[in-house]
Structure 1
Amino acid sequence: MKYLIAFIDDEPNILRGLRRLLRSKRDVWEMVFLEGGEVAIDWISKNEPDAIVTDMRMPTVDGAKVLEYAASHKKGRIRIVLSGEADRDLTRRTVGRSHQFFSKPCNETSLIRAIEAAFTSCEDVLSPEMQRYVSNITTLPGATKTHDALEKAFKSGSISELSQAVAHDPALALRVLQLANSSYFGRPNDTLSIASAVDNVGIEILAELWETGSLLAAPDTKEIDAHLAEYTDLAVETAQKLYAMSQEEGVSDAECEDAYAIGLLSWVGEVIRSCGTEELRAHLHEKGAVTAAAYVCCLSGMPPRVSQIMEHLVNAKGCGGSAEQRAEEIGRVKYNRVEAF
């Protein structure tokens, strides 16, 4: 079965260039090249694309409107922006509705890798239906205590307080690292350092995204809030144990931060599970939640080592409800105590 990919741009020369660049994928992808946002929305409404790659600045119907339509109608397992000079207000509207942002001119290898990863990551564990469900969550929720910490940090204007808030919530960390590792608001950084990611994106942009609900959603009920608070505590405990373990290994500060972020992000699946349907909660029980975390990290452009370690956890004993077990298992992989990849 060929995957169906839609490429959208208002410039015919750009579309012809993409067609040439991606000629090697003709046997595995069915590709359509759509001129302009209006044509794109009409086509998307009648088809089920596996991936959508769109320019931003287009007359009448811009890329943000295309992505808004696609996200609201749950179209595409991965939605990518491929654009030139970014307009901050326009780009801000794509946060949550897109998974990654590539600047023109784009290295076709990176673009191909991002699209293919969305199809192959966790395919043996997550059904296509579950993949589509996870990929169409626009903004994950955070516990009330996280929102309180964000409000305090933005009011004080303290970048240190903001970094601390991000470092204590897996869903929030995922969003900030997604923005820093892609070209949304500047040059992308291949980083898992939460402090660096916050600094890279900037407090002003993060405040704007929080005010519009694109940074972190609010919990729908008190019950969900309680679950989110519990998973947040487990995520932080896992991350702190991994950071301490890394220090004992004598690795660099960057490696310690790397381990902290992976421990924190490994609980994103439980956040997804807590706010999902009954069917989703059943499907993502225990190991399925770790798989969902691996998948959403892959979609969001996290460095490949994140998903690789999490995919290993799916087959490990220590990926259930214990922070200590999960930290130990991640440590076993990260420090070559087992063959992981």
Structure 2
Amino acid sequence: MFVDDEPKLLEGLRRTLRSLRRAWHMEFAEGGTQALDCLAGSTFDVVITDMRMRGMNGAELLEEVMKLYPATVRIILSGQCDRQTVLKCVGPAHQFLTKPCAPDTLKTTVARACRLRDQLQGHPERSEGSGKPGRFFAALRMTARTVSKVTSVPSLPSVYAEFVAELESARGSIQRVAEIVSRDVGMTAKILQLVSSGFFGSPRLVSTPAEAVRFLGLDTIRPLTFSTKAFFPFEAKDAERRWLERLIDHSLAAGMMAKAIAEAEMSNDECRITKDPVLAGNAFLAGFLHDVGTLVLAEGRGASGGTGILRGLVAGGSTVGSHSARRLHRTHARAGAYLMALWSLPDPIIKAIAFYHGPSRSPDQTFTPLSALHVAHAVLEAEALDAPTARGSIDLDYLTRIGCADRLDT
């Protein structure tokens, strides 16, 4: 559904998208009230709305959509907006597109946002010991709704406190803020959303969290923190917090190792690899964010669900590499990938997060960030379990397909 309070603009959009009428069922609503009436009578996968509208603005409309129809993808399509206006969109909108927007850009944005959602809800693999398929599929549909409602990913309390103190300090520096954000999965994910989707300027590809922080600047990050609550701490007991700290340490180690593997392969002339200048950076970001789904669902399901999962792991003495932790991460990998797709992160990062436990499901024929993360995670898992080798966790068929199987011992 496309929403704008200017009939002429809606008609122009209808003409522009005429070539897609066989691929999409499209409705065009004049303003927020009409849009909500349409939503009450039909199901829509995506709502794309202008921001500046009389009566109900775009952010207010998407707030209602998020509350009433949580599985719907929410996108702002608007002309130039000042910072205060954009800040109102940061919570309810998954992405921000700037007018004029090419039809191909719209089509790509909608397709990639929905692709993983459809896989999550309609074509999931049956998990280990999942019981009756009906219950499993229902749980996946609930996961999609939960993820779509996520506006931020929780941060470690200690890191969040350090972050806020730096922003409040008269001597606060962008370098120090960048260093703090680079140690936190939740802040990194949110910052990358804002940069990748173009909330504050043209969409930008970055290779590190620090680069994204410097792009936004303190004048944007401060109101994001204190006005829109784009960042918040995870509420957990001491034992749960320690488990989360280990999870973040594991994520950082996975990112660093994936980056090192990617850099080594890029320097190897015999490796079947595309010489992509951002490959190593994407490998790091994929590794650092590969467990973001665990944090999302732990927070999103509340004490009876998410933190209950964490408490079960903590009570059972689970480590990052344990069997119970591996099952949790496999279940949540696709949820994390879906959120990153909604937030418009690059496809190689999304694919790596979605498939690092089973890379053969990807169509890759060459080395990608997925390859680096798969091997890095297997090595770290073997270390956590004190296993003599990581080979048992590595998909050799996949590595053979991409021409890297002979590189395992180098």
- Fold shared per TM-score above 0.5: yes
Is the counterpart of residue 290 in structure 1 residue 333 in structure 2? yes
Task: Say if 1:302 and 1:195 are closer, same or farther in 2 by CA, change over 3 A.
Answer: same
Note the alpha carbon deviations across 1:145-170, whole angstroms, 9 max, x for none: 22023123312321111111221112
Q: Which amino acid aligns with 1:295?
A: Y
d(CA) in 1 for partners of 2:3, 2:382:
42
Q: Give, in angstroms, the shift of residue 89 of structure 1.
A: 1.3
Q: Is the 8 A contact 1:290 1:319 kept in 2?
A: no
Out of 232, 246, 252, the residue aligned to residue 230 of structure 1 is 246
1:322 positional shift:
6.6
Give 1:207 deviation, angstroms. 1.5
Change (3 A) 1:250 1:29: closer
> 1 CA distance for matches of 2:223 and 2:382?
34
Amino acid at match of 1:43: C
Note closer, same or farther for the CA distance 1:50–1:274 as it changes in structure 2 (3 Å cut). same
> Aligned ranges for residues 117-266 of structure 1 at < 5 Å?
117-121=112-116, 123=119, 124-125=123-124, 127-154=140-167, 155=169, 156-212=171-227, 214-222=229-237, 225-249=241-265, 254-266=278-290
Match of 1:307 in 2: 350
SS in 1 for 2:64: helix
Higher Rg of the two aligned structures: 2
- Answer yes or no: is the 8 Å Cα contact 2:197–2:203 preserved in 1: yes
Q: TM-score, normalised by structure 1?
A: 0.85
* 1:199 to partner: Cα distance: 1.6
**Corresponding residue for 1:324?**
380
Identity %: 26
Residues 71 and 13 (structure 1), Cα distance of their counterparts in 2 relative to 1, 3 Å cut: same
- Structure 2 residue runs of 5 or longer lacking an equivalent are 125-136, 268-275, 310-323, 361-373, 384-389, 406-410
Q: Deviations over 1:214-237 (max 9, x none)?
A: 322222332654443232221111
**How many Å separate the matches in 1 of 2:20 and 2:305?**
35
3-state SS of 1:53 partner: strand
Cα deviation digits, residues 40-66 of structure 1 (max 9, x gap) = 234335543211101001112111111
Write the distance in 1 (CA, Å) between the matches of 2:217 and 2:208.
14
Higher mean C-alpha displacement, 11-20 vs 71-80? 71-80
Taking the aligned partners of 1:57 and 1:231, their CA distance within structure 2 comes to 41
Aligned equivalents of 1:186 and 1:173: distance in 2? 18
Check 1:250–1:31 CA distance in 2 against 1; reply closer, same or farther (3 A cut): closer
**3-state SS in 2 of match to 1:293:** helix
Name the Cα RMSD after superposition: 3.1
Distance in 2 between residues matched to 1:296 and 1:21, nearest whole Å = 29
Cα deviation per residue 1:100-149 (whole Å; 9 max; x = unaligned)? 11100002112111211222226033844422221111222111022023
Could you say what secondary structure the match of 2:26 adopts?
strand
Partner of 2:298: 274
- AA aligned to 2:176 is E
Q: Any idea what SS the aligned residue of 1:286 has? A: helix
Is 2:158 the partner of 1:102?
no
- Judge which range, 302-311 or 77-86, deviates more: 302-311
3-state SS of 1:140 partner: coil
Calculate the TM-score normalised by the size of structure 2: 0.72
Change (3 A) 1:205 1:260: same
Contact 2:258 2:376 in 1 (8 A): no
2:319 alignment partner in structure 1 = none
Residue 301 of structure 1 aligns with an amino acid whose one-letter code is S
Query: For residues 8 and 241 of structure 1, what CA distance do their matches in structure 2 show?
Result: 45
1:326-341 to structure 2, matched below 5 A, reads: 337=404
Does the 8 A contact of 1:49 with 1:76 survive in 2?
no
Question: What is the rounded CA distance, in whole Å, between the counterparts of 1:210 and 1:143 in structure 2?
Answer: 15
2:46 to 51, 56, 59: 51
Cα distance change on mapping 1:207 and 1:213 into 2, 3 Å? same
**Residues 333 and 355, structure 2, Cα contact 8 Å, conserved in 1:** no
Q: 2:315 corresponds to which residue?
A: none
Amino acid paired to 2:335: A
Contact 2:70 2:148 in 1 (8 A): no
SS at structure 1 position matched to 2:91: coil
Structure 1 residue 293 displacement after superposition: 1.5
Aligned residue-pair number? 330
Matches within 5 A, 1:54-133: 54-121=49-116, 123=119, 124-125=123-124, 127-133=140-146
The code of the aligned residue for 2:291 comes to: W
Gap change, CA 1:178 and 1:12, over 3 Å in 2: same
> How far apart, in 2, do the equivalents of 1:110 and 1:258 lie?
22
Measure the CA separation in 1 of the matches of 2:182 and 2:403.
Answer: 26
